[in-house]
Structure 1
Amino acid sequence: MSEEGPGVTIIDCEGSAGDPHRGFYFHSGEHSTWVLHGFTIRNGYSYLTNWDRYGGGIFCSGSSPIIEGNVITGNTANVGGGIAGRYASSPTIRGNTITGNHADFRGGGGIYWYFYC
């Protein structure tokens, strides 16, 4: 949790085709006691093959954290530019500003969920 909020606490992933980075990858069974709150997550880039192409800003796989009160902007992925999820992920996503993200392959510029969610 950020104490100062998304206007001050900025995670700039500085991702690119040559150097891809996403903001957060939840894959270890994180659940509702794990809260992502009060950040700006920007410039994530996940544009590779297989599962690395999902979620430029945030990717959830087999996890269900709380994602609230964030600004998720300017992220790029093949699928789910802002936030993407798969395999038994059921996060709580509320009160976020999700804007200006981009996805090329299957869509979900803002949010995309796939497979058993």
Structure 2
Amino acid sequence: MAVTIYKGFNLKSSDNNIWQAKIKNHVLAGSLAAVKKSIDWFCDTATIIDPKEFSSVGQKRETTGSPVAEDFNGYALKNDTGEPNTWYCFFNGRLIKGSKIAIQKHIEAYIIAKQKAEQQRK
């Protein structure tokens, strides 16, 4: 049985790589990454979330398609998974995510607003 400490909480491991931690009167059990995420959540919000809620933490995501990148008005729109709503773009120093059409509409609205602002200055 392995024992370690994470942010002041004792973590204990059983045979099947299942880790346990006790917060107040609750025993949390799951993968090491999920239990640590639960502890982080408790430290940040003072609420207890079961590690099952974080079961995907530490697992590699399956991709349904090949990565795609497109140029739209000078901005690179990317999709790493091939799923329809997992597009992202670095736009004006910020990361925006969502469907490809929604990101394109956002960029178009920005370009139109910028053009109107330039016309008003003249």
Higher relative contact order (CA 8 A, sep 6+): 1
- Normalised by the length of structure 2, the TM-score is 0.19
- Normalised by the length of structure 1, the TM-score is 0.20
